[in-house]
Every structure is written in structure tokens, then in C-alpha cells.
Amino acid sequence: MNCKICHEKTKNIIHPNNEVYHYCPTCEFILQDPVFHPSDDEAFKEYSLHENFISDPNYIAFFRRFLEHAVFPFASEGKRALDFGSGPEPVLATFLEASYDYQVDIYDLFFSPEKVYTNKEYDLITCTEVIEHIGDPLTIFQLFSSLLAPGGILSIMTLLHPNDEEQFLSWYYIREKSHISFYSLVTLEYLASASGLTLLYSDKVRYASFAKQDDSYH
């Protein structure tokens, strides 16, 4: 199988339960073989079990840390935002509007499927705990790039894989059935380059921030 991001040849990683993952030695992207991907109905049922509410102070603190590290140090003065993959309850969007005066559009494949971002530009795009569910991340990153306004940033959250086969196979992050795509810092750099973006920041654990390569913000 060729890599979905850099198109180089991948090698197989076989889980003890016989699930197959395709690892790219070039860009370090790992994709679960499509035969094991959950159906839309299965994914919807799993997402519906998530109990994340704006009334939960721990969940708000989880997002506040993300904003403090991956958004506010790089954000422009603009306040137009898109929360891509907002989930069953748009907690981050509500928090950004209530506490930071952003005007936030939300999109979610299952819970807010209208493509409200069409023909719009945004100063901030957030995508938290989403890209691990997407089988073709390059297409999504190219979409994000097309939606960024001058000076705008993309901030994502996804846990980066350990880039070690033994550690990967015992990694808790692969246990969630709807997690099908896994990234390292090298993967994010490849995605950025292929999407006309520049990687501004990563904590090398789960946060990353990007801007357009031709953006005067640099």
C-alpha cells in the first residue's frame, strides 16, 4: 500500500489481534487498514457515548491548556473561527464565544453536517481530537489551508504516536475503534508542506499550530 500523505511504499504492522496497520517509513504516518475501519453507524454510536459538557471544569481546563499553548501565542487579531469536528456538544466553540469573544462556526460529520465553511475564511481553525478519525488527512489539511484568512492559524490536537512498533502495539490510543490514523511530528511536517502550510509549533505530544506558507504573518 502507498502512503496516503507522501505516496511512498508502506510496511505492515500486525497487531496480535490480527489488525493490520500500514506504516510509512518516509513520513511516519500510520493508517489502519481500511478493512478494519468502523462503519459510519458504528462510529456514530461511539461518538454518541462521549460525555463532554461545558459544565465540566476538567473538560474546560483541558481546552484552556490547548488554547494557551497552541492558539493564543500565534492567533491574529481576527475573531472568526471554525471548530472542525465539534462533536455532540460544541464545548470548545461555546467556550471561545463566551470567554474570548470569538464568532465560531461549527462543523461535525455527524452532529453538525452542514458545510457552513463554504466560501468563507477564518482567522482560527481548531480541530481537536479529530484527525485520528480521518482516513485521508491530506485532503482535510488542504481544505483547512484554503479556509485560512491572511494571518490565520490552524491549531490541532491529536496524540502523536511513539514511532516504535512495540510501543505502538501496546499504545492505548489505538484501542478506540474509531481511531484509524496516527501521526508523528514528521508526519505533521509532511502534511503542512503538502498543504501549503508551515508548522509553527508543536509540543511533540499532542498540540500543533500551522499557518499558510505565503502568509504575511510570518
Helix residue ranges, H only, 89-147: 91-100, 137-147
Q: Which residues contact 175 (CB under 8 A, 6 or more apart)?
A: none
Cell numbers for 134: 480521518
Statement: residue 215 has pLDDT above 60: no
Which whole number is the average pLDDT over 43-60? Answer: 71
pLDDT in tens, 107-155: 999 999 999 999 999 999 999 999 999 999 999 999 999 999 999 999 9
Give the mean pLDDT of 42-62. 73
Residue 210 pairs in a beta bridge with 154, 199
**101 has a pLDDT exceeding 70:** yes
Q: Which three cell numbers stand for residue 67?
A: 488554547
Domains of the chain: 11-212 (3.40.50.150)
Average pLDDT over residues 25-50: 88
Contact 124, 78 (CB under 8 A): yes
User: pLDDT band at 3, cuts 50/70/90?
Assistant: very high
CB 28 within 8 A of CB 187: yes
Scan for cell 496516503, then name that residue: 4
* pLDDT on residue 218: 37
Choice among 9-13, 36-40, 179-183 with the minimum mean pLDDT: 36-40
- 3-state DSSP percent of the chain in helix, strand and coil, to 5: 30, 25, 45
Provide the percentage of residues in the chain whose pLDDT is more than 90. Answer: 81
CA distances from 78 to 9, 139, 215 (A): 41, 25, 14
Tell me: pLDDT of 216 over 50.
no
State the pLDDT at residue 48. Answer: 67
